[in-house]
Structure 1
Amino acid sequence: MSVTWNSEYYIALECKDLQANAMAVDSTGTYVLLAGRRYLAIRNLEDEYELVQKFPRQSKYDVGAAEWNPTTYHQELCVISSNQRLEVLTWKNDELIQTHSLRAHTRVITDLNWHKFDPNLLASCSVDTFIHLWDLRDSRRPTLSLSAIAEASQVRWNRVSPHLLATAHEGDIKIWDQRKGTAPVQYIAAHLAKIHGLDWSPHSENQICSSSQDNTVKFFDTTNPRRAEYVLTTNAPVWRARHTPFGNGLVTVVVPQLRRGENSLLLWNTANRATPMHTFVGHRDVVLEFEWRRQKPGNTDFQLITWSKDQTLLVWKIEPFLQKLCGYEPDDGRDLDETNTGIIETAKVSKKTSPKVQPLQQEFSLLNVHIPNLEVKKMDPILRSVSVRATINNFCVNIQVNFPNAYPHGVPPVFQIIAGSTINDSIGAQLLQTLNHLAQQRVSKNRTCLEPCLRQMVTTLEQLSTDIENDIIYERPYIEPVNVFGGYNDAYIPFPRTSGAKFCSVGTLVCFGRPLHTRRLSSKLEATTPRALSALENLFAKRANDYMTVSAYYFQRQRSRAKHNVSKASKAIVHVYDALSLFFVNKQLAEEYILDGDVGTICKHNAAAAAVVGRWDLVQAWTLAELVAGPQQADEEMSMSVHPFGNQLMQSLITHYASQSDIQMAAMLCCIFGKDQEMSIRKSSLKSLLSPGQLVPGKRWLKGVSPYHTIPPADVIADGWVLPMLRTTRSTSLDNLRVEELVQAIPQRSSATALYEYYKLAYAETLHRWGLLYNRTEVIKYMCSPPEPHKGVEFLTDCKDCLKPSKSCVCSSCKRLSLNCIVCHVSVRGSANCCVVCGHGGHSSCLKAWFTAKAICLTGCGCHCLVETAGDVQQLTVDNTKRNF
């Protein structure tokens, strides 16, 4: 295949059927190895027209890592990792033959690295926490095994010292010396998040850098590892960070699994870490691997090889002007002039040298000219301008974009609406404001912005066009004077609120409002918020040339503030307050209260808990309740229901605390004493409703009902009363408690039972929002209404022993634990997750740790569990929605 040249790179290979996820460049810079589950492929970079040579691979496991031997002695050797095995291959006579198979790891291999000086030495690390050192002259077993306790994600030999190597374990780095046994000689607590990559300095044996999930690259001196020498901060998790073979350069790439759509590489100067020096834009999907190609004698250009998930291999030319940005001075007859507007390259190019790289010309060549509703009229890299035309509904906009010389290094392009456009000044101002804002965001990171701005231009025009159409449809009834009912109808449509406050969840108060400086200008502007949409009728009279919409009203106010030179930000602030102290409910009491044991013990314990928080009124109530309960009666029927004044006293206490919105105390008393109250209230009604076999003498529960309470199901409450809120509503605030309204709405004979149920339900919801799930379960045990049956999709586990489906962690047939974790191989008892495609799963924590760094199932089945499961769940949601409608 012939290569496709760009001003900055050329496409060396584009092969969709390879499905390779690992790439390596040999020590001579001639051959590239691409490895995947189905094929191994070799591409000769010296021959532009040579086809890729593919070798079928019979394996069910993907390739995790690949690397060529860096020494001249064994330059024909390369190694790949596949699950728990290393395969050493020899490239000779246009054939790729396996010569060694190294097996010692018990879990998936995460990384490998050839020794920089010894052609026979190789290091590998794995999830099994071991780092093995292999000698190809005796490949039966590792020559040295290092145990790191924690999973190792990276291993790298020192580029200067032949005895040192570094490994990464979550956020830590360990330095090992193969001469000093199996213990690390240095430990670096580098990051609080996972380390994805390590790279030693090519010049100093004590300098190492680490790239992490926390969006940083840190540089350490191993002789003083307590603190990083300096930190490079990016805007995304960093997958790999590697030194350039020239100057102070560093190339970074984002984590492939987390940042789809971010397909570029960044070139930094470690001596000037504020912004990247250059952005490599060309791939259409995330970059999986990149390596430097060995520089050919007499060639001043370095080359960077990148492999992307779009199955495209690109070769980037790092010309002298980029090398100078990284502090390297190549002797090629070129120089850089630094001006106030940026860095301008002046080339003294001889006939033998290649033309200078034109970043703007590169951007023009990569521009997608098939954007819907957009026509690119002219692109002129000499005059540094672009002319486009967008046609959307009744809008026709012609825009010319001019690029300054310093673009895109912090200087945005200039957008101008030219003749032939059919939009008014208001829409034009909104459009230019949006484009300028987006362009400034992009160039502040030294990124090009032409295509994103053109796409945003189309999106903005579509939105403005839709708004205009909606305004015409909905506003003309009250704008047209012939429609006498328009203003009357809109008088009942409230204007959007500009301030408000609401209690949310448990004890949280949320307030929002207009900015302070906006309120100060209210006397100068039309700042009083209209009460209804009909108020826009008067404002329309002042603007006869345009329709006054809600958005136009606010935009007019923003423009007016600009005329008054208001420089402060107009962002409104939302305040969230902890208002729990305003209510009687108390989270500490909820944690300390108990419901298990005899009534006297419960009351004594709860009184002590109330005393700790200073609620002396509750201490008196619990003490009184303990006295009323008295000693445990031998006959359980002789209890509160027959106490001389116990019945009325407990009813009074419950009603008192409920009327004060102390739902916590009311619910606790209902759980402990409510069963006796309800039994005495309804005993006569139950006898007429239940069959003789359902009421068991001497016991306080109904046949088939939980023994934790004595209240019958809501369906058998006297007079057929069923409390609807117990089945359909969930309490979100104490404001929902309206004791007087509930008493009036519920029939007298069953009002007590219904209210007790409501108190328990409201308190259970409060406990749920506090995260006290165990305490909530204890309260729910005292509910009379059975829980609603599950409605929706249920996932069952096939037991690993008897292969029968089971809904719980214990198989109902063989009584054994039904699921084993694929990561730790321990039976699952707690929170678990499973892939709906391949069926593999395990502990939620184990799977989270695995899929944070990996995208493919640990078992080697090849399933991309996160992607597949998300797609199936989304389709299931769509199908259910269609079925409901």
Structure 2
Amino acid sequence: MSPKWNSDYYIALECKDLQANAMAIDSTGNFVLLAGRRFLALRNLDIIDSNIDSVVQKFPRQSKYEVGAAEWNPTNYHKELCVISSNQRLEVLTWRMDELIQTFSVRAHTRVITDLNWHKFDPNLLASCSVDTFIHLWDLRDSRRPTLSLSAIAEASQVRWNKVSSHLLATSHEGDIKIWDQRKGTAPVQYISAHLSKIHGLDWSPTSESYICSSSQDHTVKFFDTTNPRRAECILPTTAPVWRARYTPFGNGLVTAVVPQLRRGENSLLLWNTANRATPMHTFVGHRDVVLEFEWRKQRPGDTDFQLVTWSKDQTLLVWRIEPFIQKLCGYEPVESKDSNEIYGAENLRFFKKTSPRVQPLQQEFSLLNVLIPNLIILKMDPVARNVLVKATINNFIVVLKVSFPSAYPHGVPPGFEVIKEGSNVNESIIIQLLQMLKHLAQQRVSKNRTCLEPCLRQMVTTLEQLSSDTENNRIYNRPYLEPSSLFAGYNDAYIPFPRTSGAKFCSVGMLVCFGRHVNPRRLSMKIDIAPRGLSSTPRALSALENIYSKRNDDYMTVSGFYYQRQRSRVKHNYSKFTKAVVHIYDVLGLFFVNRQLAEEYILDGDVGTICKHNAAASAVVGRWDLVQAWTLAELVAGPEQADEENSWNNHPFGNKLMESLIGHYAIQHDIQMAAMLCCIFGKEHDIFTRKASLKSLLSPVSEGSPYHTIPPADIVADGWVLPMLRTTRSTSLDNLTIECTIKLHHAPIKIIPNSLYEYYKLAYADTLHRWGLIYHRTEVLKYMCKTPETHKGVEFISDCKDCMKPAKFGNCSSCKKVTLKCIVCHLSVRGSANACVLCGHAGHTKCLKWWLSLSDVCLTGCGCKCLVQTAGMFTP
């Protein structure tokens, strides 16, 4: 739960006519630049004045293009220089003697510039990226052309220089990250497949040259170590697309800015501790629209308070003070500061402590409250006294509710709710249940530092409507009016998806399972153009449905009511009845090629000719004349039993190809039974060999597929079929599949190259036989597997190499020859005595772990595992 404090900020600028999209702070922390299509504005943050307009300088800018990005030179050598991007052009500006003058402009991109970034150490070096897929490096001493151009093939949206190494920079391309070294030509030195959606922001760690974080449209922030880029070090999930994520200049902090869907929702910034990602450490509440940009202001000597400057689409510039106790939550211990009067000056400090320029979070919530909630009247809203008085009238229920907000609200502290009995006509039981619901919902919201007034008021109306309807219905049936199971269902609708109301699924033994709603669902009296699945898609859709449903109480249906399949019909009496969904199971074996009777009659023992003849006769009994022809053809190809090796079927010009074609044909037709039988009959144990199956051989002869697929192609498997992996594999990738096969014709060795798909056919058919209860027949099929399952030898712990991620039993990996294990305490390679937690898997030197566990019982990595206690409990009988 987040700590309890009020946000501490002051309004540095509020100017609607700027229409600025970009913001930047100079290296001294004194000036902030706001850039838009019509104006460039400069604000001196060191001057705190009640008349804000008097300390803002505006410079007209005549351009038909918006400003995409802006940035000051981060070094003291050229601290007067700043640069902005406009369409395909970079404009370099100089701030001198209270004038902002364009020095020169450069152009090399052919499409819109998406981002720019100054070099952290070289005052003359600048990087820009564009939709044209190029990243240009500029030396301002010779601005005629880029000093280096990097081609990335895909559109580049972000570019960032490393904060530690002077040669590295990173760029983002949709969901991928590329790392470049300007010393090593025009090819990237590292490639990271980071996200499934577009990356909006990149930021390098200020303390390590190999750590980088990325924020994306997929609602996540991911942290990567560029020395091991195959997987993210950790992932921070959020509730909305993340626009920016940047490290703090202190401790282990990270600040994120999200973009709520349809620009409705939370506009706050969140402060996280990267070592404890369970919940944000602090929420910056104050802006009334999406935060476009935020940067850290340079700290003054002797000052312990960092300052965060934010610019929002509401055209408000806010300066936030990050006090020492907030810094401690991010693992940073600030040094004691000088007297505040020495740092800010007495006059400025007195002004900073005034409340006149502040926008209080509660006042903002009141201003955004929807006062047109159906059946609800706002009687009073007092931001000074911090309370709200409302009145809800639903049928014969009247409730007057007072909501009181503590000073720490909404940071972990919920408001207080009180039903005013004067003016209310509900009994004590309903009051208790209503207050219980409101407290529970409010606690859920404030635990995430979210406001809760409007959700609570809407849920109060929904609950009263349900209670009123239940009271009337139960009065007719003379039973208690309340159903505890559905009382709190409404307010949970915002957190769970809408249910699936119908569906069908085949299984591999010829069964079809179907379910659906009642055949006569209740019809609404009004037509609406929002599909039921849209109920959980957006708050706007939910609100629209609530407004429509509330117009007719008889036809009213909450989302919770939809879950419980409650159907009402208006006949002679207004009563309610409950219907149950029925699950239907159909035998559709006739639609599939697999046949249980054939499974019982097929044989696998004997010579090939006898087997084929017997199986052809069995196929004729069930009317499968295509199988009769196939078995007869197989018998002819196999030849007589007394044939010598030279006349065997595998030496026939069409022998091998014919059998491969037959197996492939029945696999494509989804006749897994026939494909598996042919695979079993024409192969048996002889000489053992081990082959590494190539990707091409794995996909042929059935179909060709993408090399990125990690499961068998979909067109070779019928709907509902599950082809299990061989038990000898350690992952789901076919690239790691090793086949140990023993093959022999009944009367001569064969030369068919083993194909892993043949093993899948056998396993799938064996699974079907097991589902039918034909255990003996299943065992016969499994005898023809290329490799029998290994016997279980007990528990064995094997670590994976941290570099190549392959299993390694010894100190050095047998594949990459590197040291397998790194200590979580000293971060050195483990070559001697080591221990590992069997629950979380973290390991290290025995001495290091002993020292750490003598100080704390929690794992050092921050995973939360209590290694000694939980491991001991794991083996306790």
TM-score by length of 1: 0.49
TM-score (norm 2): 0.50
